[in-house]
Amino acid sequence: MCLQPLPEVLKTPENSSGGILVVCMPGLGPVKKPLRKGNFFDNSIDRGCVVERFIEWFPLWGIKPMRMRGQEGAFERQFFTLQWPQRPVEDAHGPQMVPLIAEKIEELVAVLERRRPRIIIFLSRYLWLAANTSQARARLSGILGKPLDEGRRITGERLNACAQSWENCLMLALPQPSKNTTDKFVQSLAAGMRAALSRASCPLLAEQSTDPLLSAARECLVLDREASIRRIAAELHVEKTRAQALFDSLKDRAWTEKDGHPTLMKSLRS
């Protein structure tokens, strides 16, 4: 059982201000305390099974962070973590935890005041709900500004995942990584997560990553542009504009234009 506190991430210019904060429930750290600090993705540091599983989600989104010590770039250095609340909530489970976590809002406020992250990723919907209680919002508004919406789903799958814009920050509420967060579910988050992380303005997303939905979109192609777009939208649970972009991205990779009509190719080119 993982009982150690979540290991502290090495402080860098990129995460000291305006970075990406990953917030986890308490009691999910490693069995043994690491001997040193390192960046969030450093594969020589045990951060516990939940964080490790979360890190494994990035390639499923078409993002390949550098995990070798000393080879990290600006993208990797933006991430840091927080265990919130500092101690487990006793005698409460599920939604019952939300108001009890909200009572510990000062622990979150203290970090936000110092670090001012641009993106906060809650690895539990209950943590995000706690941050959105009236008492928590009253404290957070002085740091993050007001919430601009109540949160919008970024997946069509059964498990819920949301993005919520605040005046000075973007919040992401993801399920805690577990056996229920299947690869299919994680891949369904790709478009929303890539859009969110692009706010970090890191070349990794534009230059080194590939859209993980392209292969799935190829399977939706038929010998008609509009029919293909409709099928991509329906099968992948994306908006029509997103489906159109996926279709266009597959030109000369999965289909070519011949006599004004798309013609399917035998294989998907990289």
**pLDDT at residue 191 is higher than 70:** yes
Q: What residue has token string 């995942």?
A: 161
**Whether residue 175 sits in one domain with residue 252:** no
**Amino acid at site 75:** F
Can you give the pLDDT at residue 267?
A: 54
How buried is 70 (Cβ within 10 angstroms: 0-12 exposed, 13-18 middle, 19+ buried)?
exposed
**How far is residue 181 from each of residues 60, 70, 252, 270, measured CA to CA in Å?**
12, 31, 34, 28
Exposure string for 233-243, b = 16+ CB within 10 A, e = fewer:
beebebeeebb
Are 55 and 185 found together in one domain?
A: yes
d(CA 149, CA 24): 23
CATH, residue 182: 3.40.470
Out of 161, 189, 206, a domain closes at: 206
In which band, very low, low, confident or very high, does the pLDDT at 270 lie, cut at 50, 70 and 90?
very low
Residue 8 within any structural domain of the chain:
no
Beta-sheet strand order (sheet of 162-166) = 79-83, 20-24, 119-122, 169-173, 162-166, 152-153
Tell me the per-residue pLDDT of 243-263, one tens digit each, with 9 for 90 and over: 888 888 788 777 787 766 667
Answer whether residue 208 shows pLDDT above 90: no
Backbone angles phi, psi at 119, to 5 degrees: -130, 135
Name which of 108, 168, 94 is nearest 136 in CA terms.
108
At residue 218, the pLDDT reads: 65
- 200 and 221 inside one domain: no
Q: Are 161 and 191 in contact (CB under 8 A)?
A: no
Do 178 and 239 share a structural domain?
no
**Does 223 lie in the same domain as 201?**
no
pLDDT in tens, 64-74: 899 998 888 88
In this structure, the answer to whether residues 200 and 225 fall within a common structural domain is no
Indicate whether 203 pLDDT > 50. Answer: no
Residues 69 and 167 in one domain: yes
Is residue 141 in some structural domain? Answer: yes
Residue 3 lies in a domain: no
What is the total count of domains within the chain? 2
What pLDDT, on a 0 to 100 scale, did the predictor assign at position 250? 80
Last residue of a domain, one of 167, 190, 206: 206
Q: Are residues 66 and 197 in the same domain?
A: yes
- Structural domain contains residue 2: no
Q: Quick one: 124 and 156 in the same domain?
A: yes
Average pLDDT, the chain: 86
> What are the residues facing 169 on neighbouring strands?
166
pLDDT tens figures, 224-246: 778 888 888 877 777 788 788 88
Show the domain range for 188: 13-206
Distance CA 66, CA 217 (A): 27
Same domain as 176, residue 242: no
pTM reported for the whole predicted model: 0.76
**pLDDT band with cut points at 50, 70 and 90 for residue 15:** very high
The answer to whether residues 65 and 38 belong to one domain is yes
Residue 23, helix vs strand vs coil: strand
Could you tell me which residues are beta bridge partners of residue 258?
A: 261
State yes or no: pLDDT of 186 exceeds 60. yes
Residue 222 has pLDDT above 90, yes or no: no
Q: Is residue 19 part of a domain?
A: yes
* 103 and 190 together in one domain: yes
Interacting residues of 71 by C-beta distance below 8 A, sequence separation 6+? none
Q: Does 62 map to a domain?
A: yes
What is the percent of the chain with per-residue pLDDT over 70, rounded to a whole number?
A: 86
Is 182 inside any structural domain?
A: yes
Q: How far apart are CA 157 and CA 174, in angstroms?
A: 12
